[in-house]
Structure 1
């Protein structure tokens, strides 16, 4: 990959560094004197969807949130993205803070931020959503259209109970999620909330990052994603801390609460399919896919009983 800052009228930076945590995109921090910027290269991105993401972030920036969200800097010709041979590039100012640890206090703050964010997103018109995720799992990645073929491929890579479980539960969870979409409230959601997409300073959340997969989905699915990606194996104390924070800004209905175990499994299985698509696109490894498959298999074991959250 090459770093080209000329669309923003910038020359060679004083320093370039990579983030500590992985990303679906190619990300670099570039420093000019005391100013640091985030350069993000979105591989195989849809220009219309990236533009929609920037419009959504612009609206969120006017919602009076207690934390920041990224804002793309305009190029010299007024655009918010630049075309490169490797994909669409965006540049934004680095926001203050560091990624939080998994302490109970910071998990509570993380949940509080997601609850506040979801409350703000609920007020925005659905037309602002860059994508609609209320669809079957076979459509979430263009590289994966035959889930049966994917199951057989994974069984060849990792024969045994794990892939047998995946093949059995995938159609069940896909159908269950479709049924939930008929009755539960939908809104624009972040879609990928995790501690790695959060910045904190002095015990307070300063920014929520990475809205690349933001779109229309069930409101409760955003909490499910946050729990799955922010807690350590659904540790009961961590789950309680995160949910206590979330409830400050957003309250789920009883039906949404009941749906959380299904949505957690849907999220876990969906991450396997997402990573398998990235593998086929050359952006992830075989081991990445198998790691997420193993994590999905373990998820049900973390629950207090079949398809239940820890109490």
Structure 2
């Protein structure tokens, strides 16, 4: 038989707040079908579930509150119970049954919440109050999970586009276009963040590895660096590291401009908890540029 404790309705909990604590067990039930136990802060019903032997609260140790991670043994031998503990705040009064006879200052009372799905069905296990002599250990979290948490805490933006001709201006067919991105921790890197859980800390560092420029005329350019920002002193030279030349005016496109889209690939290297790895994130920015025939400018 598997014994489960199930939280009862709020009406019973409220009632116990105005009545003396009561306790009943399977021994008081001539049918031996379980019992009810009420503390000042909660009521629990013990129910014997037929046909499910071998289930143990808290895994192989069988003791509730033995740690932050418990397990439930299914009939097929698999374990799939996960429990978490939250310190009760405020702590129950000294005479609360939740203290299990222990005085204030001797250990503490925690809310234990377990989620179990035996046989692939939704389980009825819910939160209960338990007394623990020592704070429960934290559940282990995979370093890769912490790495993603660190990345999620970062601000990684699309490229801060610096292009010549500038948006709002006009460029010429056949003349060099200079593409560049302004470097900042949020748009180029390095960008560093850490995440911790269960005594493990993972640190991740993100940097842009490349920027792919879709020029709006069907062509694309991939630049592995930030590019060179154009200056008037460069004259009609082509960009040394990230440039393009339009061969058709933008007048025939929707809106009369080319939409230039810059897509940055962030590469994030992480390490911690005895492991290391790499993640990638994609970010995009766009601007519009107008390209005209040279004679149209001279007319």
Q: TM-score range by the shorter chain?
A: under 0.3
If each structure's strand is expressed as a fraction of its own residues, which one has the higher value?
A: 2
- Name which one, 1 or 2, has greater alpha-carbon Rg: 2
If each structure's helix is expressed as a fraction of its own residues, which one has the higher value?
A: 1
TM-score (normalised: structure 1): 0.21
TM-score (normalised: structure 2): 0.22
